[in-house]
Amino acid sequence: MTLKGNALVGQSGGPTAVINASLAGVVEQAKLHPEIGEIYGAIHGVQGILDEELCDLRAETDETIALLSTTPAAALGSCRKKLTGADYACLLAVFRAHDIRFFFYIGGNDSADTSHKVGKLAHESGWEMRVIGVPKTVDNDLGYTDHCPGYGSVARFNALAVQGSGLDTAAMSTVDTVKIFETMGRNAGWITAATALAREQSGDPPHLIYLPERVFAPERFLADVKRVVDRGNGCVIAVCEGLRDAEGQPIVTFKHAVGTDSFGHKQLGGVGEFLVELIATELGIKARADKSGTIQRSFGAAQSVVDATEAKLAGGAAVRRACEGITDQMITLVRTSNDPYRCETGTAPLADVANAERPVPAEFINAAGNDVTPAFLEYARPLIGGPLPPVARLKLARVEKKLE
């Protein structure tokens, strides 16, 4: 017998440029399935469910839902909340009260854990409900999926920013010689790695790339910087906020721990400024740090078309799979061809995805640990949704000198 009832969708964790595209995919697909009655949204993710703060997504116009696909951040509101045992029971009470039979949770590995646990409790309690996770994270660190919706857009932003920042640094290389470009990435270097997509020709910035998958060694770093600086024309260095030392400790920890989130994540920051100081102190060279912070994940004008398309696809696939009877799975992206780039959806068990993190693999990092490999570029390039805009490259043919 076909399961009938209401659907609930929520968004969780750090927003991305395309998490709303996934929401649009869920809502538009849900409207096509007669077994789905009401389509509810959870305000601020599981926090909204706990507070019984739900909204009616059928009350939104088709135009508004369509516009979600190009609207950054999480339109329903998001949260970072680690649930306790009592919370799960509370969620289930809300599901029962509102006849929720289809639950779609758009988020990362913490959200997969939450989804899996609430689905398990529902099952054990005899409440028939399909639970499907929709992947989302700028960090691109979920397992079982080729890549994560949200990554292509943050990658595009950072590639665009390093392209411009690189031109800026070259222009100002007689004044500000070194540019430290700090990206997000608590435990994985995917975002930092993507800055390499700014390169069009050999020698283009970024000149050095440091990922948290390799121990950060100050002496090697300084030697690298000195070598690039000596070549002239400036030095652009992409670094990850999560860089770690030989003991596995962050090389910089944010001073104030007000509101360390409930998963125990520390708010990192300041790696860029720390390295500016290191370079000034040890090499006597002036550096500047750029750190776009949350701008990189919420800059609509840098949205990758491929990313937005796939995010919406994943949202729609979640509803289709649920209506087919699938539960306790996360939608995955499966790359079926790289040239031309093609991608389909698949599924993976939520329990497998939960709390697992996928670092940048060794074959994507060069031997010296200061750059990515061509294999990484091949992997990442299709995800940013087309080439960067071309830039003028003057020949700067020198005029013969006439003075001594």
- The residues assigned a catalytic role are 139
Name the minimum Å distance from CB 69 to a copy of itself. Answer: 8
Q: Which two tokens stand for residue 59?
A: 């009350």
The reply to whether 149 sits near a copy of itself by the rule CB under 8 A is no
**Least gap, CB of 192 to a copy of itself (angstroms):** 15
Q: Of 284, 339, 340, 363, which one interacts with a copy of itself (CB under 8 A)?
A: 284
Query: CA–CA distance from 84 to each of 41, 54, 162, 262, 316 (Å)?
Result: 22, 21, 42, 11, 30
By the rule CB under 8 A, 239 interacts with a copy of itself: no
Q: Which of 1, 59, 86, 246 binds a copy of itself (CB under 8 A)?
A: 59
* Minimal distance, residue 149 CB to a copy of itself, in Å: 16
| Cα 156 versus chain centre, distance | 11
Residues 6+ away with beta carbon under 8 Å from 79: 12, 44, 45, 46, 47, 48
387 binds a copy of itself (CB under 8 A): no
Contact 174, 235 (CB under 8 A): no
47 scored as a contact of a copy of itself (CB under 8 A): yes
Note whether 174 binds a copy of itself by CB under 8 A: yes
- 34 part of the interface to a copy of itself, by CB under 8 A: no
Two structure tokens written together for 88: 């799960």
Question: Cβ of residue 19: shortest distance to a copy of itself, in angstroms?
Answer: 9
Binding of residue 146 to a copy of itself (CB under 8 A): no
Of 171, 130, 137, residue with least CA distance to 151? 137
Nearest distance in Å: CB 158, a copy of itself = 10
Interface with a copy of itself includes 378 (CB under 8 A)?
no
Q: Which two tokens stand for residue 89?
A: 């029971």
Residue 86 in the binding site for a copy of itself (CB under 8 A): no
Among 22, 29, 78, 195, the residue binding a copy of itself under the rule CB under 8 A is: 78
The binder of a copy of itself chosen from 231, 253, 293, 341 (CB under 8 A): 293
With CB under 8 A as the contact rule, the residue among 5, 7, 44, 275 that binds a copy of itself is 44
Contact 303, 18 (CB under 8 A): yes
By CB under 8 A, residue 297 contacts a copy of itself: yes
Q: Please report where in the chains the tokens 């090697």 appear, as a residue.
A: 220
Torsion angle (degrees, nearest 10) of CA 68, 72, 75, 80? 140
Site membership for a copy of itself, residue 264 (CB under 8 A): no
Q: Which of 130, 141, 68 is nearest to 104 (CA)?
A: 130
Between CA 254 and CA 261 the distance in angstroms is 13
> Binding of a copy of itself at residue 72 (CB under 8 A)?
yes
